[in-house]
DNA sequence: TTGGATGCAAAAGTTTTGCACGGTT
DNA sequence: AACCGTGCAAAACTTTTGCATCCAA
């Protein structure tokens, strides 16, 4: 497989997390790394089959599980989708805006919740580690219709 | 079944949505109405079996589906839980704070995101209808350990 | 060489569905 | 009476697991 500049990041991450650099693992990471939308296991499975090599769906699930545990990949669930979604973890959390009509998912980098977390910690006594924010609406294209 | 004051709300909602007032549907709504935490289908199933009457799990699922479609109940999914959760829809959205350790879910009434939605609409071109915010952390009890 | 990675098949777990019967309006 | 709701069993669907084999370090 051709190793481009932008692939070094996840290859390094693989190595430093003690995981073997296998063909399947590598294509899986490449797909997620270059994808702006979270994908489900089956989508990843078909992409690897089409573009790279024959692979088994359980291999995809097993690799996703390992990569999630090592923190390289994040697992997501959205209401209305029975399948879990996965994305490359670019460090620094992100939020999502989902189109109710066409189901397109767009990523939002800015997070408005830092100060809110502090006030909520005081209010509830929780020690807050993370949060998940998803917005729902109609994307510009679907909104026209 | 004894009809108390606080049950009138969901009984009325049943009627005005054109759904039949059946024994199971009624106990299901009563359980969700009086519960502060979202419950999954199996938990609802066992509660009805214990407190009210024999019921089949598929009946629970079918009723939940109808009630979600009518907007009386909201369906939720949390990462790390393969089961969907359901709650009575009290109108006016709510947010959740989930304990990473004991999995307790607490509901937050205040929402800090009104202004943010407006700025995001301008930024993305989306027409935003709703959002979902979940906070994760350690509840006061688990935090002590 | 050795332990992890993979394919295959089967299992597990959640949710849905077909069909006959029963209950509400 | 008509239609919706229910129970039961089976199916569908996503995800996990056991086991034999293969491959990267």
In this predicted model, what pLDDT tens digit does every residue of B87-135 receive, in sequence order? 998 766 678 888 777 777 887 877 888 888 888 898 888 988 878 888 8
Q: In chain B, which segments carry CATH 1.10.10.10?
A: 1-90
Residues of B in contact with A140 (CB under 8 A): 124-126
Higher pLDDT, B59 or A142: B59
The reply to whether A1 touches chain B by the CB within 8 Å rule is no
**Interchain proximity A125–B140, CB inside 8 Å:** yes
Say what the alpha-carbon torsion angle A104, A105, A110, A114 is, to the nearest 10 degrees: 130
- At A91 the pLDDT is 62
- At B8 the pLDDT is 61
- At B60 the pLDDT is 98
- At B89 the pLDDT is 82
The reply to whether B75 touches chain A by the CB within 8 Å rule is yes
Q: What does the pLDDT look like over B14-26, one tens digit per residue? A: 888 889 999 999 9
Q: Is the pLDDT of residue B5 over 60?
A: no
Residues A38, A87: contact at Cβ < 8 Å?
A: yes
How far lies A123's CA from each of A54, A118, A120, B99, in Å? 53, 9, 5, 15
- At A14 the pLDDT is 84
Section B32-53 average pLDDT: 92
Neighbouring C-beta atoms of residue B8, cutoff 10 Å? 10
From CA A84, how far away is CA A38, in angstroms rounded?
9
Superfamily of domain A93-145: Ferric-uptake regulator, C-terminal dimerisarion domain (3.30.1490.190)
Longest dimension (CA), chain B: 53
Mean pLDDT, all residues of chain B:
84
From CA B140, how far away is CA B99, in angstroms rounded?
9
Burial-class residue A32 by CB neighbours within 10 Å (0-12, 13-18, 19+). Answer: buried
Residues A98, B83: contact at Cβ < 8 Å?
A: no
Instruction: Select the CATH number that applies to the domain covering A1-90 from these four: 1.10.10.10, 3.40.50.2300, 1.10.240.10, 1.10.3720.10.
Output: 1.10.10.10
Residues B130, A136: contact at Cβ < 8 Å?
A: yes
Name the nt closest to A82 by C-alpha to C1': D14
CB-strand contact A58/D, under 7 Å: yes
**Interchain proximity A134–B137, CB inside 8 Å:** no
CB-strand contact A66/C, under 7 Å: yes
Q: In chain A, which segments carry CATH 3.30.1490.190?
A: 93-145
Residues B86, B76: contact at Cβ < 8 Å?
A: yes
- At B3 the pLDDT is 40
Considering only the beta carbons, identify the residue of B76, B78, B143 that sits closest to A127. Answer: B143
Section B68-82 average pLDDT: 86
Which segments of chain A have a pLDDT < 50? 1-6
pTM for this prediction: 0.75
Q: How close does chain B come to A36, measured CA to CA in Å?
A: 15
- At B20 the pLDDT is 93
- At B4 the pLDDT is 44
């Amino acid at each position: 497989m051709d190793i481009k500049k932008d692939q070094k990041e996840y290859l390094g991450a693989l190595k430093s997390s003690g995981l073997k650099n296998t063909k399947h693992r590598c294509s899986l990471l490449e797909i997620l790394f270059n994808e702006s939308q979270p994908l489900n296991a089956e989508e990843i499975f078909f992409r690897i089959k089409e573009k790279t090599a024959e692979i088994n769906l359980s291999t995809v699930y097993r690799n996703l599980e390992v990569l999630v545990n090592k923190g390289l990949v994040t697992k997501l669930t959205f209401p209305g989708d029975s399948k879990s979604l996965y994305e490359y973890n670019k460090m620094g959390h992100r939020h999502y805006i989902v189109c109710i009509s066409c189901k397109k998912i767009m990523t939002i980098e800015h997070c408005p919740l830092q100060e809110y977390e502090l006030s909520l910690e005081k209010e509830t006594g929780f020690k807050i580690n993370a949060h998940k924010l998803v917005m729902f609406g109609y994307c510009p294209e679907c909104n026209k219709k």
